[in-house]
Each structure stands twice: as structure tokens, then as C-alpha cells.
Amino acid sequence: MSQDGTPCDTAPPTNHSPATAATAATAATTTPPHPTRSNWRRSWWLYHHALRQFGWVGCDDGSMDADGPNALPAPDRPVDPTPRHTADLPATPTRDRTIPATAWIEAPATLLALGDELGGPRGHEPGAVAGHAASFLRRVGPWLLWRAGPPRGGDACHWAAHEDDLARQHTFRLRPDGTGEGVGPSGAVSTTFRSWKEDLRDHD
């Protein structure tokens, strides 16, 4: 027993009032969560988004990329004139060379005409190493994605056709100020290249 008469083994009084319990419950629910996979994904996206803002890494438009030691900006990728059939077109972007529409054996006339109109990754600039034809970007599911004209800062057109039916074609026009418009497989009008490409992705 202590000098004030309280037994030595008695614990200090605990306040179990409703207000205290509510405060404890609130603290438990507001405790910062442990990092999850979605948190890391968001951090990774924010990191790459920041890099794109400074032009250090690019998107599927092929304007600037940093995948591998031989990666080059789209306008600086030399033309690879090797003839290719549809089945030979790669699934992912080629970062070190340009595949021109003139090398695609089954290239539809509409795609070749876009190249005549808008040129290659540097437009119609004389002596451009990337050539003056529409260039292959990548596959998006069953869709073959090409672009005529520069990736940014000029008139351009993204063109896509279905690998099993090249008559199924869709385009997205890009203006020099970065705005654009196109219709995808769903029939919806897209005003951004991203949403138009997602329309391709979501429709076989």
C-alpha cells in the first residue's frame, strides 16, 4: 500500500467514457495504410508522367522513348525498307528504326495516301532519315496502328486497320496545337489520342 492509501498493485484508473472510445475508433480508422500494390502503381505512373512532361520518355505516339540503349526519337529513326507481310509487323514499337508503309506488302491505298499527304515523322522535310511515308507504331490487340505526319507540332493522322480485315479502318486526326478528333470501332467520337486508342483496345 502506498503512502496515500492506494494498493501498490492497483492500475491507474482508465476512462471508458463514450467520447474516449469514439476518439480511439477514429484514430484506428485514420491510421495511414500500409503501402499496397495500387499505391506503387500510382507512384510509378506519376514518376513516368513527370518524365514525359520534360520530354525524357514517351508514349505510344513514338515521339520520344527510352527503352534500350539504341532507342531514338521517332523523327531520328532511320528507315528500314525490308518488305513485310502483315504477320511480320511487330507487336510493340520499334525504337531504333522506322517501318514505313511502303515496306508493308499489304498496305491499303488509304494509308499510302496519308503518307503522300502528311509525310513521315518529320513531315515532308527534305532528307529526313525517317522517310516520308506513314510509319508503323505498334499493334493494339488485333489493330495495326500507323501514323502519317510528325508525332507533335504538325498535322498528322493516326490510322488503324484490323489485321483480319484491312477494310476495317479508323483514323484520328491530330492538329498542330495538339488537339484532335477521330472515330473508333465503337462509333464514338474521341477528342484525345488516348481515348481513341482505348476504343481500339476494347473492340476486337
- Residue 169's nearest CA partner among 105, 87, 112, 103 is 112
Q: Which pLDDT value is given to residue 8?
A: 45
Q: Which pLDDT value is given to residue 1?
A: 46
Q: Are 187 and 196 in contact (CB under 8 A)?
A: no
Rounded to the nearest 10°, the torsion over CA 64, 200, 166, 95 is 20
Instruction: Tell me the pTM.
Output: 0.69
Q: What's the CA gap between 54 and 82, in Å, rounded?
A: 34
The percentage of residues in the chain with a pLDDT greater than 70, rounded to a whole number, is 66
pLDDT (tens digit, 9 = 90+) per residue, 149-192?
A: 999 999 999 999 999 999 999 999 999 999 999 999 999 999 99
Name the helix (H) or strand (E) containing 162: strand 156-162
* pLDDT tier at 39, thresholds 50, 70, 90: low
pLDDT (tens digit, 9 = 90+) per residue, 114-154?
A: 999 999 999 999 999 999 999 999 999 999 999 999 999 99
* pLDDT tier at 59, thresholds 50, 70, 90: very low
Apex CA 176: angle with CA 170 and CA 178, to 5°? 70
Higher pLDDT, residue 81 or 69: 81
Q: Hey, what amino acid is at 28?
A: A
Q: Which pLDDT value is given to residue 42?
A: 57
18 pLDDT higher than 90:
no
Name the helix (H) or strand (E) containing 21: helix 18-29
**What's the average model confidence in pLDDT over 4-27?**
46
Q: Which pLDDT value is given to residue 67?
A: 53
Q: What's the CA gap between 61 and 140, in Å, rounded?
A: 12
Mean of all residue pLDDT scores within the chain: 80
194: cell is 488516348
Higher pLDDT, residue 32 or 176: 176
